[in-house]
Amino acid sequence: MSETRLGFKEMCAKFDVTPRTLRYYEYIELLSPEREGRSRFYGPREIARMELVMRGRRFGFSLEELRQWLMIYDHEGTRAQMQVFLDMADRQMVALSEQKEQLEAAMRELGALCQETKDILAKDENQA
């Protein structure tokens, strides 16, 4: 059974990221592809790390938080990484909850403004 290995372009396509993004993730040490000459190859470890980075970004974690979290696995193992994840997730859930409240307030305010505008337009039409 051969290991899955993706080239640079395949990795970009799989995760729908630009080459610039992928190179940046390497630069900040989120990923460490194998190199053969000028070519880069991403094995199962790097693919898994990219999946975690993409998921973390979707949840709103910063790249630096994700980099540090991935380093914990390398230095302290799975259990330590899981504990840190729980702490990160708790903080992010609070932040997302606050953002949700702010969005709901903005939506209520915008809805009220739209209704006021509709009422003014309807009043103008009735007077015309």
90: in domain: no
pLDDT in tens, 54-78: 999 999 999 999 999 999 988 999 9
Task: Please check whether residue 27 lies inside any domain of the structure.
Answer: yes
Quick count: other Cβ atoms within 10 Å of Cβ 103? 10
Interacting residues of 53 by C-beta distance below 8 A, sequence separation 6+ = 25, 30, 31, 63, 66, 70
* Residue 2: band (very low, low, confident or very high) from pLDDT cuts 50, 70, 90: low
Does 107 map to a domain? no
74-93 residue pLDDT tens:
899 999 999 999 999 999 99
Structural domains in the chain (count): 1
Q: What is the CATH number of the domain that holds 67?
A: 1.10.1660.10
- The CA distance from 86 to 82, in Å, is 6
Identify whether 106 is part of a domain. Answer: no
pLDDT at 1: 42
Q: Per-residue pLDDT averaged across 95-120, rounded? A: 97
- Tell whether the model's pLDDT for residue 108 goes beyond 60: yes
**Rounded CA gap, 88 and 67, in Å?**
13
| Containing structural domain, residue 20 | 6-76
Residue 124 domain flag: no
Average pLDDT over residues 88-116: 97
Per-residue pLDDT of 6-48, as tens digits, reads 999 999 999 999 999 999 999 999 999 999 999 999 999 999 9
Among residues 66, 39, 72, 40, the alpha carbon closest in space to that of 53 is found at 66
- Whether 50 is covered by a domain: the verdict is yes
Global pTM? 0.79
Residue range 7-18, pLDDT digits in tens? 999 999 999 999
Q: Are 4 and 43 in contact (CB under 8 A)?
A: yes
Residue 58 maps to a domain: yes
- Is the residue at 13 inside a domain? yes
- Alpha-carbon distance of 8 to 10, in angstroms, equals 5
- How far apart are alpha carbons 23 and 38 in whole angstroms? 13
Rounded Cα–Cα distance for residues 59 and 51 (Å): 12
- pLDDT band at 124, cuts 50/70/90? confident
